[in-house]
Every structure is written in structure tokens, then in C-alpha cells.
Structure 1
Amino acid sequence: MITKAIKKAFELAKTRGWDKTYWAIDIHETILEPNWSDNELPTKFYPLAKEALQTLTCRRDICCILYTCSHPSEIEKYCALFAAHNIYFSYVNENPEVINKRYGNYSKKPYFNVLFEDKAGFDALSDWKKVISALEQYPEVIKAQQKSS
């Protein structure tokens, strides 16, 4: 399922001439194994999640959005945890790069091309490996003049 979404996103970007796609990524039961604690944030990555996210978040043709119901104070801690592992998100629960148009209102639901969410079928135990394989099939392609920005 996730590989189909990735393939569709890259093919759509190519046919429409987009320089990037947008990927919304949940934390709990997607990136990190939950601990169900009220006092301690989970910090244990699912197998291959860290490696996949390091690749994803450094690509210029992918804009990663942290998509979470975490409280603001928790989000700060999660962002620090991810940064310590060279994982960086461009936005949290928003995508200001895509504005409202006739065919879509993005004021309450951010626009994205690919969704990593356990409640939507993402399986953190098996899908990160598929993500890594899919990224290998779609190497980053950005024109030289765009790399300098």
C-alpha cells in the first residue's frame, strides 16, 4: 500500500513538473514504538524507521511534515529527538506551501501526497523496508539551478 502511494506521488510530480512532493508522517506506532506512559515520551524507533527518515528528510524533492496529535511541549521534545538522529521535518501539522484553490481547501487539513499513519494502514514493522526500497527506485532528481537555493 505505501509503495503504491510513493510511486503515484513521484509519477504525478514528474508528469506535472513539480520539484517536490509532500509526505505527512505520524509519530506513534509509525516512527516510534509506543510506551503508553503519561510521563515519559517514547524514544524507541521501529526497525529501519530512523534510516528511512534520515534519507527522506534530507531529500530536496520531498517535504516531510510531522503529522501528530501530540501536545506542543511534546512536539518540541520529539523534534529535538529526531534532530539528534539527523531527522528533520519542514512543518508540523501544516503545509503553508500549498494554498487554498478552487479544488481544495487546506486551511484545516494540510495537503500531502503520501501519508504514513498506522490508523491508515501503515505497518511500522514491515513498511519501512518497503519505503527504503521504493526510494532506491526513485533517486532524487533536481536541476542544478535548484540545488543552489
Structure 2
Amino acid sequence: MISKAIYRALHNAKQKKWGKTFWAFDIHETIVKPNWSTEKISTEFYPFAKEALQLISQRTDVTSILYTCTHPKELEKYLIFFRQNGIHFDYVNENPEVVSKNYGYFEKKPYFNVLFEDKAGFDAENDWKEVLKIINKNQEICSV
């Protein structure tokens, strides 16, 4: 499922000569397995999630957006945890690179091309392996 969204985003970027695409990532049940603790953040990655996100973080043609409802006190801990694991997000719950115009209003919903979200059908147990294959195959938009 996620592979179709990624291929469509990369294809559109190539066709429209965009320099990048925007990918939004939820945390719980998407990147890390939830622990349902209010004291300690979840730190167990789903299989292939860490490796895929490390590669995505290195791409200049992908802007990564952390798209989460995580409480602010936990959010900073997650950002530190991700950085310690070689994972970088350009923005949190926003995309200032795409502003509202006639075709869309992005003041309350940030623009993205691909959404990694368990509630939107992303299967963290299985989909990260496919994402990793796609990222390894498509080193940059021009290669699609």
C-alpha cells in the first residue's frame, strides 16, 4: 500500500520537475512499538524502520515531517532519540515550505505527498521492508 504512494510521489516529482517530495511520519505504531507509558518513551523500532528512516534522512529530495499528537514533554525526548539513531526530521506538525494558494489551504493541515500513519493503513510490521527496498532502488528522484 505505502509503496504505491511512494512511487506516485516520486513519479509526480519527476514529471513536474519538483526538487523534492514531502513525507509525513507518525511515531507510535508506525516508527516505534507503543509501550503505553506516560513515564518512558517507546524506543523499540519496528523491523526495518530505523534503517529506512536513516536513509530517508540522508536524501535531499525528501523533506521529512514528524506528524504526531505526542505531548510536548515527550516530543523533545523523541527528537533526541531519533537524532541519536541517525534519523532527522525537518519539521514537526508543519510544512512551512508549502504555503496556502488557490489550490489548497495549508494553515491547519500541512502539505505532504506520502503519509506513514497506522490509522491510514500503514502496516509497520510489514511495510518498512518494502520502503527500504524502494529507497535503496531509488537513490534520487531523477533515477525513477
What TM-score bracket applies, with the shorter chain setting the length? Answer: over 0.9
Instruction: Give per-residue Cα distances to partners, 1:1-20, cap 9 Å, x unaligned.
Output: 10000000000000111010
1:109 aligns with 2:85: no
1:68 aligns with 2:105: no
Alignment of 1:2-21 (within 5 A): 2-21=2-21
- Check whether the contact 2:14–2:141 (CA below 8 A) recurs between aligned residues: no
2:104 and 2:141 map into 1 onto residues whose CA distance is: 28
Runs of 5+ unmatched residues, structure 2: none
In structure 2, the partner of 1:119 is 119
1:77 and 1:122 map into 2 onto residues whose CA distance is: 24
Runs of 5+ unmatched residues, structure 1: 143-149
In the TM superposition, residue 141 of structure 1 has moved relative to its aligned partner by 4.8
1:79 aligns with 2:65: no
1:140 is aligned with what amino acid? Answer: E
Runs of 4+ residues over 6 Å off in structure 1:
none
In the TM superposition, residue 71 of structure 1 has moved relative to its aligned partner by 1.0
Instruction: Give per-residue Cα distances to partners, 1:47-96, cap 9 Å, x unaligned.
Output: 11000000001100000000000011211100000000010000000000
Match of 2:6, SS state, is helix
In the TM superposition, residue 133 of structure 1 has moved relative to its aligned partner by 1.1
TM-score, normalised to structure 2, is 0.96
1:46 is aligned with what amino acid? Answer: Y
| Percentage of pairs with the same residue | 58
In structure 2, the partner of 1:35 is 35
